[in-house]
Chain A
């Protein structure tokens, strides 16, 4: 059990790293882009809009990182 947990922890650290928000942002952006593709949008439009969605999700995750906390305000 300990080995399985250590194995899982290694892959979590390797892929997710110290900021889970990036992984979530990427998955959300790709899911939204996939929805556009499956809705029948043209390939080129899917690619361009998908890239914009990736950037937007990244910007949101960065904004969450640097937002002032209650501790900062006091």
Chain B
């Protein structure tokens, strides 16, 4: 009231009309909020610039082309200590992408499996899965990552490695696997693989169309497997096995040759996929329960057994409910992978932190961190939104 009175006193009739109109008053409020936000932003920017100048720090992204002079133990692309900071960041980003992609695949499989099991009529089974879900999703992820890392560091010491046929070695420094060395002729195998995949997709489409028209089933899974695995295998044999294997050999300290999957990667992967898997299982359960009981019963009365009824009738309908929250879980998993730093997995944050420390370019590195995680998240969202649209209920 008082405010109205003061407006009446200070403003002319035009101002008063503007103020008493609900719509224009709303506009004024919004303008003021925007103005306030702009002032705060301007303050933050000017303060930052002033502080940077005060301590005499150069800003800009020129440091990315300086040499890094530190080493990274897991690199998916060529990298040495004489490479640049920029390349080190790319190595870190790829490590983040690797563990996120592995985690998303495993978490989805675990989540669907556990979600379906939880609804099993078998009392013991559903309760055991229930207990696992509650424990896994209610213990902080950081603790789980450290837990798995400690478990893996309890593996045999390197000199007592568990050996599998003198080619695979397991110890507390990871799994040492033979590495394939591709020789000439391998390109034919790769081409056969591509052809196999294309043929399998074609067969799947053809089978679906045929089923719609005639109702007849076709063993798509087996044919697909034969095409994707069989065709390259055949070409591999014809081309005279164009792959040599680099078998790891024990040396004084470690193994030479092959490639090593570090315990840090495995610990992070297990922790991320079980933690997120537990959440996904609840989403799957909710999705399945959202499909009316009548659907299952109708499928049963059409003669479908419980398995096909679940995968062909219930799950496709449940997916509409499952996909949006599932997308959030994928995004969470990617961002949670930054906890890698706790166990020394060299992801984007870990390597970025080292660069920040060696170069002193804090703002730039933090900016890069944010940009990369934002891009990864937006890409995931884009893909999932596209998928969501594809499976949306088409009403006829």
Asked if A and B bind, the verdict is: no
